[in-house]
Amino acid sequence: MVKSIIFALNIITLIMKLIGELEKIISQYFKDNLIEGSPAELYNPINYILALGGKRARPLMVLMSYNLYSDSVNDVLSLAKAIEVFHNFTLIHDDIMDKAPLRRGSDTVHIKWNENIGILSGDAMLIKAYSLLEDLSPEILKNVFLAFNKTAIEVCEGQQLDMNFETRNDVTIDEYINMITLKTSVLLGASMKVGAIAGGAEQIDSNKLYDFGKYLGLAFQLQDDYLDLYGDTEKFGKRIGGDIVANKKTFLTLKAFQKADNNELVELNNLFASSNLSIFEEENKIEKARTIFNKLGVVDCMKKEIEKYYELSLQSLASVNVAEGKKAEIRKFAESIISREV
Amino acid sequence: MVKSIIFALNIITLIMKLIGELEKIISQYFKDNLIEGSPAELYNPINYILALGGKRARPLMVLMSYNLYSDSVNDVLSLAKAIEVFHNFTLIHDDIMDKAPLRRGSDTVHIKWNENIGILSGDAMLIKAYSLLEDLSPEILKNVFLAFNKTAIEVCEGQQLDMNFETRNDVTIDEYINMITLKTSVLLGASMKVGAIAGGAEQIDSNKLYDFGKYLGLAFQLQDDYLDLYGDTEKFGKRIGGDIVANKKTFLTLKAFQKADNNELVELNNLFASSNLSIFEEENKIEKARTIFNKLGVVDCMKKEIEKYYELSLQSLASVNVAEGKKAEIRKFAESIISREV
C-alpha cells in the first residue's frame, strides 16, 4: 500500500528534463569543475582537451538514462563527467597513435606539448575518470565499476583491432562492425547503463538501455563514415573524403569490395593502393571512389545498415519497463544522432 | 564473552606465513593466472612484461599486511596482483618516456613491439589492474578503491616531476624527496594499506602500515641511488654510475652541490655539464664524481638519510595495534630491503 503510493507519487513528481536543459547543466558543471592538481604540466593538458568541447553526448546519455528513474540529475554529474573524462583520455592517446595534428580544430595534446606529456596526462585522465566514481555509494559503485571496467578494456581492444586492420587486406564487414562496436559503441551503451544503475534500475532494464546506446552508437559511427565521403564540407567542418585518401577500410569501402565484379576489383585495388598523392590526385581519387561506390549501390546498403541499428536501438528502448512518456527526450536524442549532417 | 573466545581463537590459530612461503604462493599464482583476452597484439605485451619477473615486493607487502589480520592469504592474491599489474603499467609507459631499451635485461615493450603497442597495452594494464579489484566486497572495494586512486594519481605526478627535474638546475633535496615519495614510495605504502583494509584493520592501523611502506620505500629508493654509484657491478647486474653519466639529480648529487664550496661548485658544474662522452671519458667522469663525493662526505649523509627513513618505517610498524610477534616477517622484509646489495 505504502509502496504503491510512493510509486504513484514518483510518477506524478518525476520531472523529465529536456535535452537543452541537461546540456546547459553539463556545460556549466564542466566549466565550474576543472580537474585540479600539481604539477601544472600534468593537469593543464587535461583541462585543455576537456575545454575543447565536443557534443558531450556521453554525459547527456548518463543524465537522460538516470532521469528515467530520478530527477535529481545533479547527483550524477560526477558520474557523467567520469565517462567524458575517460572518452577524452582515449582521444589523447589515440591522437598520439594516429599521429593526428588536430582535434576539434585545435592542436592535439602531443603537438601542443609533447608525446611524453600526452602519454602521462592521458594516464592521469584515466585514473581521474575512476576517481570521479568515488562519491557513489558502495553498492552502486560496485555495479558501475563492473560496467566501467568491462567497457574500458573493450575500448582498448577496439583501438588495437583498428590498428591491426591498417595492415590487413582481408577485413570482413562483420570484423569491421565488431571493431567499431568495441571502439565506439560500447561506451555509449555504458553511458546509458551507468546512468540507469545509479538511478536504481532493474538489471534487465539497465542492460536494455545499454543495448539502446550500443546500437545507437553503431548507427552513429556508420553515419560518421557516410558523412566522411558524402557530407557537406561546410557543415561537416572537415575535409570530405579523408577516409578514402588514407585508404581507411570503412563500411563503404568494405561493401564496395564485397559487391565488385572482377573488373571493378582491379579498379578498387588500384585506387586503394595509391598514397602520397598531390592534392589534385587526391581529389581525383575521392571522385573515382564516389563514382564506383555509386555504381555499386553501397550507399543504399549503408543507409539500410544505419536504419537497421537505429531500429534495434529503438526496440531496446521500447522494451525498457518505464512509462513511454518518459522516454520522449531519449527518442528525440536518437533521432538527432541519426539525422545529423555534421 | 563469545567475542573474546573468538578473539582468543584468532590469536591461537592465525598462522604467520614466512616470506619464502608467500613468495612461492605469489610466483605460482602469477604463473597460473595470465591476463587473457583478444586481440593478442594487446595482451601479449602485458603477459610478456609480467613474466620478466622482478622481486614482486609489492604483492608480498599486500600479503604480509593482510596476514597480520587473516591467514587466508589466497583471498587477496587478486588484490596483490592488481598492485603488481599497476606497477608494470607504469614501467611500460615510463620506459617509452625514458626511451629505455632494456627492462630487467630484456627488450622493453616499445622496443620488442612498437610505441603504439606500448601505449595501448599499458592503458589496458591500468584498466586490468582496476578489474582485479572486482572480487572485493562492496565495502572493502570502496576503501581499497579510494587508496588505489589516490596512489595511482600520485605516481603519475611523481613521474611528471621527475621529467620536469631533467631540465631544472635548482632542484632542492626536499623536492627530490617529494618526487621519489610520489614516484616510488606511495605505492609501497598503498600495498601495505590495501592488504590491511582487506584484512579488516582499523583505519588508524591501515594508515600506520601505509606509513611503514612509504618510509621503507624512501629508504629503498635512496639505497637504489647509492648502489647506482657504489654497488658491486657483478652483484648489481647493471653498469655502475649510470645516474652520473646521465647527469641525473639524485640525493648524492644534490647533497654534493649543497655541501660544495665555490671551487668544488665549479668542478661539479663542469662535471655535470658534460654529455655524449666516450666510454673512457664516462669512466673518468664517474671516478671524478666518486672522488668529489667522498671528499664532501655525501655518502655518510646518504647513509644517515636512509637510516632515518628506515627508523621511521620501523616506528610506524611498531605502533600498529597487532601483537609484536606477528610483525616478525615484516621486520625481516624491511631489513632485507635496507641491507640489500642488489
Scanning A17-56 for CB atoms below 8 A from B yields: 37-39, 41-42
Strand runs (DSSP E) across chain A, as ranges? 102-103, 106-107
Instruction: Name the CA dihedral angle for A202, A26, A21, A324, rounded to a multiple of 10 degrees.
Output: -20
The beta-carbon neighbor of B127 closest among A38, A128, A156 is: A156
C-beta atoms surrounding B259 within 10 Å? 16
Q: Which residues contact A270 (CB under 8 A, 6 or more apart)?
A: none
pLDDT at B232: 80
The beta-carbon neighbor of A123 closest among B93, B128, B138 is: B93
**Ranges in chain A annotated CATH 1.10.600.10:** 1-135, 138-342
Name the residue among B337, B341, B336 with its Cα closest to residue B226: B341
Is the domain B139-342 a CATH 1.10.600.10 member? yes
The beta-carbon neighbor of A124 closest among B139, B146, B156 is: B156
Q: Is the peptide bond before B138 cis (omega within 30 degrees of 0)?
A: no
Q: Which fold has domain A138-342?
A: Farnesyl Diphosphate Synthase (1.10.600)
Residue type, A285: K
Q: How far is CA B254 from CA B164, B179, B204, B231, B301, in A?
A: 16, 13, 35, 19, 11
- For chain A, the average pLDDT equals 93
> Given CB atoms, is B127 within the 8 Å cutoff of chain A?
yes
Inter-chain residue contact B123 with A123, CB threshold 8 Å: yes
Q: Across the strands, what pairs with B103? A: B106
Kindly identify which residue of chain A lies nearest to residue B144, measuring between CA atoms: A134
C-beta atoms surrounding B65 within 10 Å? 29
Residue A82 pLDDT class (50, 70, 90 cuts): very high
Testing the interface with A: which of B116, B141, B146, B187 to mutate, by most A Cβ within 10 A? B116
Taking residues A198-214, report their average pLDDT. Answer: 98
> Given CB atoms, is A127 within the 8 Å cutoff of chain B?
yes
CA distance B186 to B211: 9
Q: Is the pLDDT of residue B158 over 80?
A: yes
Q: What percent of chain A has pLDDT over 90?
A: 83
The interface predicted TM-score (ipTM) is 0.94
Inter-chain residue contact B122 with A120, CB threshold 8 Å: no
Residue B3 pLDDT class (50, 70, 90 cuts): low
- The distance of A78 to chain B (nearest Cα, Å) reads 15
> Given CB atoms, is B153 within the 8 Å cutoff of chain A?
yes
What architecture (CATH level 2) is domain A1-135?
A: Orthogonal Bundle (1.10)
Instruction: Name the CA dihedral angle for B98, B99, B101, B102, rounded to a multiple of 10 degrees.
Output: 10
Kindly identify which residue of chain B lies nearest to residue A121, measuring between CA atoms: B156
CA distance A268 to A288: 9
pLDDT at A15: 78
**Backbone dihedral region for residue A325 (phi beyond 0: left; psi -120 to 50: alpha; all else: beta):** alpha
> Given CB atoms, is B163 within the 8 Å cutoff of chain A?
yes
A10-62 pLDDT, tens digit per residue, is 554 577 899 999 999 999 999 999 999 999 999 999 999 999 988 999 999 99
Q: Across the strands, what pairs with A103? A: A106
